[in-house]
Amino acid sequence: MKNLSWRWMLYLFVGGYLLLDLKVFHGPLRDAIRNPREAALLEARQRGWIALVNREPLTRDQLDLAVKRHLYQRGLDDSSVPPKNLDMIRRAALQSLIDDTLVRQYADGDRYAVTPEETAAFITAWKSGFSTREALLEAAAAQGLDEKALDAELAAIWTRKRWLENRIEPGVQVTEEEAKQWYEANRLETGGEPRPGFFEPEKARVREVVFSAGDEAAARQAHAAWRSEVEARWRAREDFPEAIATAIFSSGAPRLIEPMASPDGWHVIEVLERRESRPLAFEDLRDEIIAHLEAQRTEETVKELMEKLRKVANLHIFQENL
């Protein structure tokens, strides 16, 4: 018992010392803890860094490039944006930089990797969006990248994307029953009519030739010598000007309509068949509904994940350096 009481006295003494040093007198122990952190923050400010993300610096050059890319993708540059709007864009771009850095840090920490074949396929698919190699290199150069750097950045983007997908996958999966419940809850308006997107509108299968507004004679000649060589297509009522739509859908009988004028020109139209509007069953919309719900959940889950990563991150933003 005597030894136990001495031990408690020792604990109380040490605890009291820590409390007084850290909270009351700001003693040497507090200084030893704070000084390295304050030195790191001071260095960051002096170097012009805009943020520290788990002690990794983000520089003004990185932010400038991120803003430049943001504007380039929208056909803009900093000279065409008002200063107030540009400041908002810079702050939003900084938040994206922080998120990208956090994802990369955690993906690297998990030693997450994708196969070279998968990465190469993604890079090839991404590059296929450009009509020529010259257009690709021009777009890359506008964002400060040569082709090698572009490939490296695309590979990093793909790795981060797959890491995110792997982390959030359990939270975004949609079951058949959930999709059916969403369909039933959303398919009807308050009055009981099908909502837009939950029915197939009235359609007609037509062959159509449109002549210019001043070419009435050619339209009538084509009508008189009509040959059914034009490709037939299913068209909805809203695809046509109102007067022409009325003529097409007034009867279900196949027929060749007299030439009609509209702001688009002169129309010669052959109606082959008409199909009434019909509600779409769950089976017709299943894949679309699941994709919609997964996209919705993905957005929500990614947001929650990033909030968690930020909450545990050692994050400092230096507003004066923006």
Residues 160, 117 share a domain: yes
**Within-domain flag for 164:** yes
* pLDDT at 10 (0 to 100): 45
The domain boundary residue, chosen from 129, 154, 172:
172
Assess whether pLDDT exceeds 90 at residue 22: no
* pLDDT at 252 (0 to 100): 77
Span 56-70, average pLDDT: 91
Query: What gap in Å lies between CA 294 and CA 171, rounded to an integer?
Result: 9
Number of domains into which the chain is organized: 3
**Within-domain flag for 43:** yes
Assess whether pLDDT exceeds 50 at residue 193: yes
* pLDDT at 13 (0 to 100): 45
Span 258-269, average pLDDT: 94
Band the pLDDT of 184: cuts 50, 70, 90.
Answer: very high
Assess whether pLDDT exceeds 70 at residue 256: yes
Residues 211, 268 share a domain: yes
The domain boundary residue, chosen from 132, 152, 172:
172
Dump pLDDT digits (tens) for 223-250. 999 987 889 999 999 999 999 999 999 8
* pLDDT at 25 (0 to 100): 45
**Within-domain flag for 55:** no
* pLDDT at 228 (0 to 100): 75
Band the pLDDT of 1: cuts 50, 70, 90.
Answer: very low
**Within-domain flag for 311:** no
Query: What gap in Å lies between CA 128 and CA 63, rounded to an integer?
Result: 28
- Domain boundaries, position 26: 1-47
**Within-domain flag for 106:** no
**Within-domain flag for 57:** no
CATH of the domain at 255: 3.10.50.40
Span 248-275, average pLDDT: 92
Query: What gap in Å lies between CA 267 and CA 64, rounded to an integer?
Result: 53
Determine the length of the chain: 322
Which of 52, 294, 273, 62 lies closest to 171, judged by CA?
294
